[in-house]
Amino acid sequence: MGVTVNHRSFVIERALPGSVGHAFRFWSDHELKRRWTGCHPDWEVVEDRFDFRTDGSERVIWRMPDGTEQAMLAHYLDIQPRERIVYAYVMRTNGQSISSSLVTVEFTARGDRPP
């Protein structure tokens, strides 16, 4: 017996203050991205690599207080500054894959949103 694979699609929309360029900066600047994605202050950062470019990658590994390791490993497939980021990533717990995703992030000004 193999592992069951469940495919799902969903959309998250956010209206953010500021410009499209400002929002894009928080995805593309290593320090800024860590400031808004760092949600577990008691997790030790074991590894943190950030190469934000098409064909670049991102790798963050944390150790939880109980010793469990969590990892997020991403590969950037397409980056169009201030327009779009497409990346694939896997989440791992103690080296075991727990999820894989393909993500498209689109940046549009409020007046440019499709109906």
Domain ranges of the chain: 42-108
Whole-number pLDDT of residue 115: 45
The DSSP element (H or E) to which 22 belongs, if any, is helix 20-28
Topology, domain 42-108: Alpha-D-Glucose-1,6-Bisphosphate; Chain A, domain 4 (3.30.530)
Q: pTM score, two decimals? A: 0.86
pLDDT (tens, 9 = 90+) of the chain, 115 residues, equals 577 778 889 898 888 888 999 999 999 999 999 988 888 889 999 999 999 999 999 999 999 999 999 999 999 999 999 999 999 999 999 999 999 999 999 999 876 555 4
* Those residues with Cβ within 8 angstroms of residue 80's Cβ, 6 or more apart along the chain or in another chain: none
Collapsing DSSP to helix, strand or coil, 38 comes out as coil
